[in-house]
Chains A and B, each alone.
Chain A
């Protein structure tokens, strides 16, 4: 037991750290700070959404009805479930139940994949139904095109989110 701990330490401890506990804590602090930057990153987009939602309440209301409610709701449930299974995986690692952790990781990964699949289908469905921003040929444009603002923000936000998710799936795959 003692020997294996020394071996683990020798293999995984960065030269800059004194011990594994310090390394682990550094990783945790770093992750929280990373999350703070993400909040501010998406915060800018959410602010833009809120501003235009209040500038064009009726148009946003109508244009928003075009989105696929069923897929959106399903994906939200999947997303929250996968967050929960990820949390369970971390808990399992902490209590040294590695098999269980692996199963939860796998579950998280598959839920993420299903999310991306549904999202891809939703994009396809949106595009077929022309729920997309209309790129104006004239300048200035008639004001009825302001629904495009909603769609642009929608694709930017969900696209960035999908990008994050894809990176996340890659990271889980590497951990695995």
Chain B
């Protein structure tokens, strides 16, 4: 058996991995580290769900409960959701999809991984030292003057990780601008790249504001000078404005890449062109731009002006339009396709279903009077978990399964894959649908104890969470098993059109032997024959 030289066996020392500048290897470094953080955040979620089985928590103290949901939020938002698709799939695929040998700044790419790890170490150190109990939102003056936990270490961790996001975003923008293969015009880019481009804009423009907000928070906590605490002359709403100016766009950092992945999967498994390519592409950019103008909808009951509330509400309805357009376009793509139900397609369809529910319930929160009632209740929890866990994690796993043969050169067990996708979908709904009802009934979030009549719904939710957990743990095992026992993959196992499928699985160190020339837009599938024409071919 002659061994091909791939990026995986191009160097086998630990140093060749830790000092690599190969975007594919850096993607794998990220894959391993964010998987670790995902399971840490998941463990915290397990404690939360178990302790909510009974109205008065018997499992953990109130203080521990508060630290658990903070840990869950901080780890999942900054160390899993935000980096997940961009740094793993994005790092691996951006150069390959545009026919380049690497990202524009390979060293910066490696640096961003180290910065991410450094930020993670600070945050984990804060947790080991005793944890932090402010919630991931760090609202002042609680976080700056009242909390007795390790706020500064955690904030430093998040602050540092922010620079990793900025560098990744910067790298993607420059790469997509400057390094596209000959013939790859903007309107021939796969939607995944449009999505990552929009995501990167948010990463570079919003993250610095978070950095400066956390810096001010730390200064107030250390020096007791009033930036945010009114008892010291500060303004607590300023913190909320600054925080949500970052954190609302950050929500789109978490969902846009998922939309991108799904826009690749649906056409491939329907053997059909994506319906309304330009609408979907522009919708991504519209979401990124409008996303910067709606932060105030997190503050409808904070005491901001009624008129500000109305403007933010109107803009929030407007930002939902591009998302709606995408859902309609994905559905229309199925029309007259040749649909197969492989594992990635199950995840993609699951994404559309869960994202649609999450998006529509977002309308309830954008509607002012309804939001006053459900704000800061389990309704909000259910809503954003539908978007982020139901949506983003489904898309992430769908993408991992779709590109796994390309990344590793191996085929995983289709049977186990489908089983895990179904576990995830049903487990997820059982976990979070009852929380919509809980929220409307008036169950506030971040409560370690609750009125007894809510117990039935909480127990349902915990039951669902255990099914969901199986859905997450299964892929971890069968994907690793496939590395050893899986069949070897061909170069293009899904008959997909993208440039990344025109090279070996796994690719060589510099992706392509010669720079490909692009002649077509993406998604040139034929629903009649089930065939396809690749976007471009390698020269020579």
Contacts and interface: CB of A to CB of B under 8 A. Distances in A.
Interface of A: 14-18, 22, 25-26, 29-30, 33-34, 36-38, 40-45, 47-48, 51-52, 55-56, 133, 135-136, 139-141, 143, 145-146, 148-149, 152, 156
A16 B233 contact: no
A38 B208 contact: yes
A41 B224 CA distance: 22
A31 B234 CA distance: 35
Max count, chain A CB within 10 A of own CB: residue among B103, B179, B212, B515: B212
B242 A16 contact: no
A33 B224 contact: no
B215 interface: yes
The secondary structure that dominates the A interface is helix
Contact of B102 (A16, A22, A45, A139): A16
Given A29-B177, A141-B231, A45 B212 contact: yes
Contacts of A139: 145, 224, 231-232
B233 A56 contact: yes
A36 B102 contact: no
Max count, chain B CB within 10 A of own CB: residue among A18, A22, A40: A40
B196 interface: no
17 contacts: A16-B179, A29-B174, A30-B104, A33-B170, A34-B170, A37-B208, A38-B208, A47-B238, A48-B216, A135-B225, A140-B232, A148-B225, A149-B225, A152-B225, A152-B227, A156-B215, A156-B219
A99 to B, nearest CB: 30
Interface string B474-491: 000000000000000000
Interface in B92-129: 95, 100-106
A25 B207 CA distance: 25
Contacts of A55: 235
The secondary structure that dominates the B interface is helix
B193 interface: no
A29 B104 CA distance: 11
A165 B227 CA distance: 26
Given A30-B174, A149-B234, A15 B145 contact: no
Interface of B: 95, 100-106, 145, 166, 169-170, 173-175, 177-179, 204-209, 211-213, 215-216, 219, 223-227, 231-235, 238, 242, 510, 515
Nearest to B229: A140
A133 B220 CA distance: 12
B216 A143 contact: no
Contacts of A15: 101-102, 510
Given A44-B208, A152-B219, A17 B170 contact: no
Contacts of A45: 212, 216
Max count, chain B CB within 10 A of own CB: residue among A44, A47, A148: A44
Max count, chain A CB within 10 A of own CB: residue among B104, B106, B211, B213: B104
Given A15-B101, A16-B102, A29-B178, A41 B211 contact: yes
Nearest to A25: B178
B219 A136 contact: no
B209 A43 contact: yes
Given A56-B233, A149-B225, A26 B106 contact: no
Contacts of A56: 233
Contacts of A25: 178
B505 to A, nearest CB: 21
A146 B209 contact: no
Contacts of A14: 102, 106
Top-10 shortest CB links A-B:
A44-B212, A140-B231, A16-B102, A41-B208, A40-B208, A146-B233, A26-B178, A152-B225, A26-B104, A30-B174
Contacts of A52: 233-235
A37 B104 contact: no
A48 B104 contact: no
Contacts of B104: 16-17, 26, 30
Contact of A152 (B103, B212, B223, B235): B223
Contact of A16 (B103, B226, B227, B231): B103
A33 B173 contact: yes
Given A33-B170, A48-B227, A51-B238, 4 more contacts: A26-B175, A30-B104, A34-B170, A36-B204
A130 to B, nearest CB: 15
Nearest to A24: B178
Contacts of A17: 104, 179
Contacts of B235: 51-52, 55
Contacts of B170: 30, 33-34, 37
Contacts of B515: 18
B242 A44 contact: yes
A164 to B, nearest CB: 13
Contacts of B101: 15-16
A51 B205 CA distance: 21
Given A51-B238, A152-B223, A37 B232 contact: no
B225 A37 contact: no
A15 B215 CA distance: 38
Given A15-B101, A51-B238, A141 B232 contact: yes
Contacts of B226: 141, 145-146, 148-149
Contact of B205 (A18, A36, A146): A36
A145 B231 CA distance: 11
A43 B235 CA distance: 17
A164 B205 CA distance: 19
A26 B235 CA distance: 42
A16 B95 contact: yes
Contact of A136 (B103, B166, B175, B224): B224
Contacts of A37: 166, 170, 204-205, 207-208
B232 A136 contact: yes
Nearest to B166: A37
Contacts of A34: 170
Contact of A33 (B145, B204, B219, B232): B204
Contacts of B175: 26
B225 A22 contact: no
Contacts of A135: 223-225
A56 B226 CA distance: 12
A40 B106 contact: no
Max count, chain A CB within 10 A of own CB: residue among B208, B209, B215: B208
A128 to B, nearest CB: 20
Nearest to A140: B231
A174 to B, nearest CB: 15
